[in-house]
C-alpha cells in the first residue's frame, strides 16, 4: 500500500491515543523558581475516556471546614491512592508516560490520581497551592490532564506580589479537551492556582491530577 495513503488513513481513525509528551510542549518559566509546562492535545480522541469517567467514577461531594462553618466544595472529586485501581486503563498509560517523560527531572514516579468533576461554570476551585505533604517545603510536579469543556487555570504569586513582566493580576492558561499542564519547580509553594467560575454556558470538565507519593 502507498505509505502516504496509509498515513492519512491512520489520521482518520478515532482511536484514543496519547501523543508524545515532549512534542509540542512549551515550558513557561514563572518567577520564584516555578514553571508550567503546557502540552495541548496530549490525548487524542479522548471522548471515550471522558464519558467513561463521567458515568463510572463514584464522585463525592466534598465538604470543607472554612473557619467556623463547613461548606460544600463546588465540584465533585474522587482520589485514587497509589495502590488503588484507576478507573480506566488509559489513566495508567497516562501516568506511566508522565513518569517516563519526567523521570530524570522529577526523580520519582507519579503515583496518585486526583479526579475532579466541574459540572458546569458554577463549579470551581478557589485559590490554593497543593501544599499538603512534602510539597509544603520541597519542589514537586503536579501533572493535570484536562477532559471535556475548556476551563481556565489561573496562577498568581502567593505573596500577592506582581507578576514580573506583566500588569495582569494572574496568568491564565486555557485547558481544553486532551490538554496536559504540569506545574513544577516551586509552583505549589510560591504560587497559588485556581479554576475560576465562569458565567459562560459551560458543559462538564474532568481534571485528572497526577502527583508523587506523599503530596496532595
Ligand X SMILES: O=C(O)CCC(=O)C(=O)O
Q: Could you tell me which of 128, 185, 190 has the C-alpha nearest to residue 153?
A: 128
Quote the CA–CA distance of 37 and 28 in Å, as a whole number.
6
In the complex, least distance from residue 130 CB atom to Fe ion, rounded to whole angstroms: 4
Q: Could you tell me which of 9, 48, 38, 210 has the C-alpha nearest to residue 115?
A: 210
Name which position in 39, 90, 207, 210 contacts ligand X (CB under 6 A): 207
Partner whose binding site includes residue 116, from Fe ion, ligand X, none (CB under 5 to 8 Å by kind): ligand X
> Judged by CB under 6 A, how many residues of this single chain contact ligand X?
10
Name which position in 156, 193, 210, 212 contacts ligand X (CB under 6 A): 193
Position 34 contacts ligand X (CB under 6 A): no
In the complex, least distance from residue 144 CB atom to ligand X, rounded to whole angstroms: 5
Site string for Fe ion, 97-136 (x = CB under 5 A): ---------------------------------x------
Partner whose binding site includes residue 144, from Fe ion, ligand X, none (CB under 5 to 8 Å by kind): ligand X
Q: Which three cell numbers stand for residue 195?
A: 479554576
Residue labelled with grid coordinates 495508567? 92
Using the CB atoms, write b or e for 9-19: b if 16+ within 10 Å: eeeeeeebebb
Name which position in 30, 34, 86, 144 contacts ligand X (CB under 6 A): 144
Per CB under 6 A, contacts with ligand X among 81-140 are 114, 116, 125, 130
Q: Which three cell numbers stand for residue 64?
A: 470543607
**What φ, ψ does residue 134 adopt, rounded to 5°?**
-65, -25
In the complex, least distance from residue 209 CB atom to Fe ion, rounded to whole angstroms: 7
Q: How many CB atoms lie within 10 A of CB 36?
A: 21
Q: Which is nearer to Fe ion, 18 or 125 (CB)?
A: 125
**Contact, 18 vs 42, CB < 8 A?**
yes
Q: Which three cell numbers stand for residue 192?
A: 497559588
Residues that bind Fe ion (CB under 5 A): 130
Residues that bind ligand X (CB under 6 A): 114, 116, 125, 130, 144, 153, 193, 195, 207, 209
Amino acid at each position: 500500500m502507498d505509505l502516504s495513503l496509509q498515513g492519512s488513513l491512520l489520521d482518520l481513525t478515532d482511536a484514543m491515543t496519547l501523543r508524545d509528551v515532549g512534542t509540542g510542549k512549551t515550558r513557561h518559566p514563572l518567577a520564584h523558581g516555578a514553571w508550567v509546562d503546557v502540552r495541548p492535545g496530549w490525548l487524542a480522541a479522548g471522548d471515550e475516556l471522558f464519558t467513561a469517567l463521567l458515568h463510572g467514577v463514584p464522585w463525592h461531594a466534598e465538604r470543607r471546614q472554612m473557619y467556623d462553618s463547613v461548606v460544600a466544595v463546588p465540584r465533585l472529586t474522587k482520589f485514587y491512592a497509589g495502590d488503588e485501581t484507576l478507573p480506566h486503563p488509559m489513566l495508567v498509560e497516562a501516568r506511566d508516560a508522565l513518569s517516563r517523560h519526567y523521570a530524570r527531572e522529577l526523580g520519582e514516579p507519579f503515583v496518585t490520581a486526583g479526579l475532579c468533576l466541574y459540572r458546569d461554570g458554577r463549579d470551581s476551585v478557589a485559590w490554593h497551592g497543593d501544599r499538603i505533604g512534602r510539597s509544603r517545603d520541597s519542589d514537586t510536579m503536579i501533572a493535570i490532564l484536562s477532559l471535556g469543556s475548556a476551563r481556565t487555570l489561573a496562577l498568581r504569586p502567593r505573596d500577592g506580589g506582581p507578576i514580573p513582566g506583566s500588569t495582569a493580576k494572574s496568568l491564565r492558561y486555557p485547558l481544553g479537551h486532551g490538554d496536559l499542564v504540569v506545574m513544577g519547580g516551586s509552583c505549589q509553594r510560591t504560587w497559588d492556582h485556581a479554576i475560576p467560575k465562569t458565567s459562560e454556558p459551560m458543559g462538564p470538565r474532568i481534571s485528572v491530577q497526577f502527583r508523587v507519593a506523599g503530596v496532595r
